[in-house]
Structure 1
Amino acid sequence: MGDFMKQKRILPFLLAAALLLGLTGCGGDPSASSSLSEEPEDTEYPVSIGGETISAKPEKVVSLSPALTELCFDMGYGDQLTGVSDYCDWPQSAQNLPRMGTAQQPDLDDIRAEKPDVVITHTALSEPDLIALQQADIPVVVLSRARLPEDLKDLYVDLGRLFEGEQAGAETGKAFYNEQMGRVESVREKVDSYVRGGGKKLSAVYLRMLDFTVATGDTFEGAMLEAIGLENAAGAYGGWTYPLDFIGQYDPDVIFCNEDITIPMLEQNANYKGLQATIHDIVYSYPFTAFERQGKRMFDMLEDMAQKAYPDAFTETAGETQSSAEAGQ
């Protein structure tokens, strides 16, 4: 009886020891087992943009802005667009995507049927439209147009963050900004070198509509004229209007205008037919939409504008001539 009671008291200890050995033999370090089951931390998402939080990398995006659609393709995100606005016309591949209305009148039924991860737009939707999409669990991110050249960086970075996440997207946006603004800086260096070598610095206007709707000093377009080495002839004024009181001083060396304005139109206009730029056909037309959309086409256009205004600054020998002149000083 005594031996039996001793064995009964020892038995629980033996069972506990066996259980402990089994756990260590099968699982090793318990903390290692639990760490294997944990998913790696996502350092890219969520991201907060324009008051909205994007929780994961979007696979389906609807753009209700022609400018943002163009930028998406410029930055390599075109494949993630599954719907665009009725006015998205560039690049050509954007025209093949389903139409989803506009920011002012979005096609809510089509958007809800598409079930995008996010809708992007340059301008805010009306409150009823915004609520309708929020009720469908579709976030709407407003990415505003850059007001100044330096604001382009924020626009590109935010678009990158939306598509790629906090770190990778920011790097893509910065790289795109540096590449495009690097083109402007290269143009400016050539123009400045030309002027230092004795060339004339030219004045210019960007004429959006006749007679005097021009890019003034408070506009993005006016700032970009200055960025490529031109003096904005309307730089002292604001609100896209050259004041009638100063028409006598209005005689730019170069006229850049919207593509619907032609030299014959200027030659028949009382305010333009006597200007030297009109008389000598120093008038160049460009699509205003390229400025509005602030993508690669705008920078292509700026390079071309500078080359048209300062052709001698972009000849192969221009840089060599300037270097020789500076060396002789």
Structure 2
Amino acid sequence: MRHEGIEMAIERVPTRIVSLAPSNTEILFALGLGDNVVGVTSYCNYPEEAGKKEIINGFATLDPEKIIALKPDLILAFGTLQQSVVAQLQERGQTVSWFYPHTITQIYESFEKIGELTGSSVAAQRLRKEVEEKVEAVRARVRNILPQESPTVFRVMRLDPLGTIGGDAFQTGIYHLAGGKNVFADNGQDYFELEFETLLELDPDIIVIAGEDEEKAKARITNRQEWAGLTAVKKDRIAVISAQLICRPGSRLAQTVEQLVKQFHPE
């Protein structure tokens, strides 16, 4: 896992934590640290209590001054979009820890790292064990599917221009757990853009798109005439899953895998 920030034992347990990503927020609450969270982004809406915290703007529109005004003793950041803000905060003497997991194992490791930073190592180990066991219980349903029988999956990240994920994205691991295979798993990138003709040539079995309204999410694809030739569209194998699950490498991992198993293997 790519992690930057604190690499030493903390001297005291943080009591004023600012979380700059929904996944970090969910992990903090799962560790029982909700009362220590003083600031979150506008996207941090789970659990319900998280939405009652001070909002410090969106995920990619962070204001360092707003964050510093909360007088945090620990800031948890996430992803490449926040690297410039992380640098600004560190220059101002703030304690920042940055996370960007690319694999399932690294997601589990982020539980433990956050546990170390917050003096909650025992709770973090317990959380990891609990989530791992839930994931394995779901995975057992598709464990006997041979690799050659796994449906190929294309993840729509953007439509204009067309963007998707490669083997360096944590979602690739999630599809594997759900008995599917990212059609671009051999591509070493995290996110990249591609020509539609490339997608036509690969013709994946399933298309995954994030959305909260299944009908509207599917329409974003089916309303495009050029997509009609894809097998996944012809057979209505468009899997819609909430962005609040598929885009968050956090404590609800098992729930994400379970939803995809149901859509990848409805039989």
**Normalised by the shorter chain, which TM-score bucket?**
0.7 to 0.9
Aligned to 1:324: none
Q: TM-score, normalised by structure 1?
A: 0.66
Distance 2:88 2:8 in 1: 17
Which of 105, 108, 115 matches 2:65? 108
Specify whether residues 140 and 292 from structure 1 end up closer, same or farther in structure 2 by C-alpha distance, changes over 3 A only: farther
Aligned to 1:148: 103
Specify whether residues 236 and 117 from structure 1 end up closer, same or farther in structure 2 by C-alpha distance, changes over 3 A only: closer
Q: What is the CA-CA distance between 1:157 and the residue it aligns to? A: 0.6
Specify whether residues 246 and 90 from structure 1 end up closer, same or farther in structure 2 by C-alpha distance, changes over 3 A only: same
Aligned to 1:296: 251
Q: What is the CA-CA distance between 1:67 and the residue it aligns to? A: 2.6
**SS in structure 1 opposite 2:55?**
coil
Distance 1:128 1:72 in 2: 23
1:208 equivalent to 2:157? Answer yes
The higher relative CO (CA closer than 8 Å, separation ≥ 6) is in 2
Aligned to 2:90: 130
Q: What is the CA-CA distance between 1:96 and the residue it aligns to? A: 1.1
Q: Indicate if the aligned counterparts of 1:121 and 1:141 stay in contact, CA closer than 8 A.
A: yes
Q: What is the CA-CA distance between 1:110 and the residue it aligns to? A: 6.6
Q: What is the CA-CA distance between 1:245 and the residue it aligns to? A: 5.7
**SS in structure 2 opposite 1:252?**
coil
| 1:159-308 → structure 2 map (5 Å cutoff) | 159-164=114-119, 169-193=120-144, 195=145, 200-210=149-159, 212-237=162-187, 238=189, 239-242=191-194, 246-259=198-211, 262-308=217-263
| 1:10-25 → structure 2 map (5 Å cutoff) | none
Aligned to 1:94: 50
**SS in structure 1 opposite 2:28?**
helix
Q: Structure 1 residues 87-96 or 236-245, which shifts more?
A: 236-245
**SS in structure 1 opposite 2:229?**
coil
Aligned length: 252
Question: Deviation string for 1:168-217 (max 9, x for gaps)?
Answer: x3332233223223333223321123x36xx9432222222226422222
Aligned to 2:6: 50
Specify whether residues 280 and 244 from structure 1 end up closer, same or farther in structure 2 by C-alpha distance, changes over 3 A only: closer
**SS in structure 2 opposite 1:257?**
strand
Q: Indicate if the aligned counterparts of 1:101 and 1:107 stay in contact, CA closer than 8 A.
A: no
Q: What is the CA-CA distance between 1:49 and the residue it aligns to? A: 5.7
Distance 1:115 1:266 in 2: 45
Q: TM-score, normalised by structure 2?
A: 0.79
Runs (4+) of structure 1 moved beyond 6 Å?
none
Distance 1:266 1:247 in 2: 13
Q: What percent of counterpart residues are identical?
A: 20
Specify whether residues 88 and 262 from structure 1 end up closer, same or farther in structure 2 by C-alpha distance, changes over 3 A only: closer
Q: Which amino acid aligns with 1:119?
A: I
Q: What is the CA-CA distance between 1:160 and the residue it aligns to? A: 0.8
Question: Deviation string for 1:60-97 (max 9, x for gaps)?
Answer: 22223333112211222112112223443332211211
Unaligned runs of 5+ in 2: none
**SS in structure 2 opposite 1:69?**
helix
Specify whether residues 230 and 83 from structure 1 end up closer, same or farther in structure 2 by C-alpha distance, changes over 3 A only: same
Q: What is the CA-CA distance between 1:59 and the residue it aligns to? A: 2.3
Question: Deviation string for 1:241-277 (max 9, x for gaps)?
Answer: 4555644432222221121763233223233212232
Q: Indicate if the aligned counterparts of 1:180 and 1:299 stay in contact, CA closer than 8 A.
A: yes
Unaligned runs of 5+ in 1: 1-47, 313-329
Q: What is the CA-CA distance between 1:150 and the residue it aligns to? A: 1.4
Q: Indicate if the aligned counterparts of 2:241 and 2:259 stay in contact, CA closer than 8 A.
A: no
Q: Supply the RMSD in Å over aligned alpha carbons.
A: 3.0
